[in-house]
Amino acid sequence: MPQITLPDGSRREFEAPVTVAEVAASIGTGLAKAALAGKVDGKLVDTSHRIDADAQLAIVTDKDAEGLEIIRHSTAHLLAYAVKELFPEAQVTIGPVIENGFYYDFAYKRPFTPDDLLAIEKRMGELAAKNEPVVRRVLPRDEAIEHFKAEGEHYKAEIIGSIPAGEDVSLYREGGFEDLCRGPHVPSTGRLKHFKLMKVAGAYWRGDQANEQLQRIYGTAWASKEALQQYLTMLEEAEKRDHRRLGRELDLFHIDEHSPGMVFWHPKGWTVWQQVEQYMRAVYRDNGYQEVKGPQIIDVDLWKKSGHWDKYRDAMFVTESEKRDYAIKPMNCPGHILIFKQGIKSYRDLPLRYGEFGNCHRNEPTGGLHGIMRVRGFTQDDGHIFCTEDHILPECLAYTALLQKVYRDFGFTDIIYKVATRPAARIGSDEIWDKAEHALIESLKQSGCSYEIAPGDGAFYGPKIEYTLKDAIGRQWQCGTMQVDFSMAERLDAVYVAEDSGRRHPVMLHRAIVGSLERFIGILIEQHAGALPAWLAPVQVVVASITDAQAEYAQTVVKTLQKQGVRAQADLRNEKISRKIRELSMQKVPFILVAGDTEKANGTVAVRARGNQDLGVMPLADFQEKIGSDIASKV
């Protein structure tokens, strides 16, 4: 007679084994209709799962994160079901859940077209409307292999063949379609109502370019019509904000096939870069960091000693000279340790803070490159703090406060804090990992920050806080980090003289605020939809003459503003002023100053702010005061 303990602590007894669905029905008809799955003693199971012993049970609905994942996983199966109905010769492979949706890979004799996707989506809707039950069964491994071979599904048979002999596998059937899957799944296809197929792309079987190419259909699925529409609206807005398109339209940068994964910065884009770098340089200076610069190419032996070689060797660019092997640095940490080791350091010198705008290179796969967000060559605002254990907490506290100010200045106020704890593959003892994790968590508590734990997501040398930004349309970008490292200084034999005259290895804090400057500028472009705030805009003011008669006056205004430090240009083209204003507005210039005969005669300017705001005519000195204030306050 199983006793079921529910999340609120209440208990229910049943006279015989009971399914998750039956428990939900005993609680209420509303819950029975909403139930998608169950969590029995922490394990997700189908609603048809039978409980025959005492257990803890939580009913999973579409309001739970697990419920939404189950909806998406089940919709991937519905997609495969529809494809097999419309294209019986297609072979199915794998269909996992991904962020905001799912995909499924197919082998078919010809590429799927946009019209095919429409037909598949329509068929998915028809199959969902049939509300067919989703039924699980278990087969021995070898029997399952023969089953899928008989069905002509050779990819599925190959997947099962990689499972150890003697094990059982689970299959799920809905109508005429059966698929290999661990589950769980929704009870019936009628639970799958709010989905959309997004695109089709190429993919290699098992991710290996040596294997045959498959077709990957991407889709999204949500718990409600409103959530689906909200997501699609967000995608439309994200398309408008795409930094790659804006980079072209605003003449900021380009990516060239002659150097994949590297950025060619145009004058305007490099101006933005310089503003970000100089701002961060002031952050270094004002917060006790000494700026350093390390070499790009370092002997492979150093990377082996630091532990990076085992972890990153496949992502390193390597070269050879005079029978020595070198690697182009993928990060700056070992170089900073070599700088620390020069000369004798005392405990009185600690904490010692080094900062570098370090150029790094990582050999990212071509398929993973994405504009300036994911590149092979990038620059970090990389800092390392050499300190004692007693310094960790105050340094982490000060760093979090500093990071919050920097993000506010760039227009971000919503930050997510995550503590990534020890991974399975790591260096260092459990004792020092305990100390490091405690310091990070305590620093966030004392900062008043709500945080979540990401078990096992720490770096191989230490735990870390990840600081994630939420942008104007709700997307999340992980940028900042603070990592506590008790091991690397010891591995590279960096020491300081302690108060008792003994030699100690310093604790090393790895930190970055914006992370990759390339990626951060891409985020800024998308956050502001290209309309960067005045202090960051590559061109802050354009003075447009109405006719040639005001050309000299317009240039005088430009020179006056430039002496103030404003990035100003003149537009003296022989075009109608309305056209000039329209084109300059499309370039998202913060301020357009119109100079006609009246303005020339009175020493004034007609001011138009971005967003088609007419601020009227004002003396040039008044405008200088306004833009100076806007730049200083970073609006």
Instruction: Provide long-range contacts, Cβ within 8 A and 24+ apart, for 342-345.
Output: 344/497, 345/386, 345/495, 345/496, 345/497, 345/506
The question of whether 130 is a catalytic residue gets the answer no
Backbone Cα Rg of the chain: 30
Q: Give the Cα-Cα-Cα angle 206, 212, 215 (nearest 5 degrees).
A: 80
Give the CA dihedral 420, 425, 426, 429, nearest 10 degrees.
Answer: 100
Distances (CA, A) of 113 to 110, 117, 482, 514: 9, 6, 46, 41
Write down the catalytic residue from 123, 464, 511, 567.
Answer: 464
**Cβ contact 514:481 at 8 Å:** no
CB contact set of 193 (below 8 Å; sequence gap of 6+)? 128, 225
The question of whether 464 is a catalytic residue gets the answer yes
For the chain, counts of helices (H) and of strands (E)? 20, 35
Q: Give the Cα-Cα-Cα angle 162, 164, 168 (nearest 5 degrees).
A: 105
Residue 130 CB-density burial (10 A; 0-12 exposed, 13-18 middle, 19+ buried): exposed
Cα–Cα distance, 125 to 193 (Å, whole number): 7
The question of whether 384 is a catalytic residue gets the answer yes
**Cβ contact 398:520 at 8 Å:** no
The question of whether 564 is a catalytic residue gets the answer no
Cα–Cα distance, 203 to 98 (Å, whole number): 15
| HSE (side-chain half, CA atoms, 13 Å) at 467 | 27
Distances (CA, A) of 187 to 92, 198, 459, 520, 603: 22, 25, 40, 44, 76
How many residues make up the chain in this entry?
635
Beta bridge partner(s), residue 51? 18
What do you get for the CA distance between the two ends of the chain, in Å? Answer: 67
The question of whether 396 is a catalytic residue gets the answer no
Write down the catalytic residue from 91, 215, 380, 624.
Answer: 380
The DSSP letter of residue 590 is: S
| HSE (side-chain half, CA atoms, 13 Å) at 508 | 31
The question of whether 510 is a catalytic residue gets the answer yes
Write down the catalytic residue from 181, 333, 387, 479.
Answer: 333
Write down the catalytic residue from 510, 580, 588, 600.
Answer: 510
The DSSP letter of residue 383 is: E
Write down the catalytic residue from 39, 49, 243, 384.
Answer: 384
Write down the catalytic residue from 362, 376, 511, 588.
Answer: 362
Beta-carbon count within 10 A of 143 CB: 12
3-class SS of residue 56? strand
Cα–Cα distance, 537 to 526 (Å, whole number): 14
Q: In 61-215, where does DSSP find H-type helix?
A: 65-86, 114-129, 141-150, 154-161
Beta bridge partner(s), residue 616? 607
Q: Give the Cα-Cα-Cα angle 472, 475, 477 (nearest 5 degrees).
A: 105
The question of whether 380 is a catalytic residue gets the answer yes
Beta-carbon count within 10 A of 118 CB: 11
Cα–Cα distance, 594 to 554 (Å, whole number): 9
Write down the catalytic residue from 382, 471, 485, 571.
Answer: 382
Active site residues: 333, 362, 380, 382, 384, 464, 510
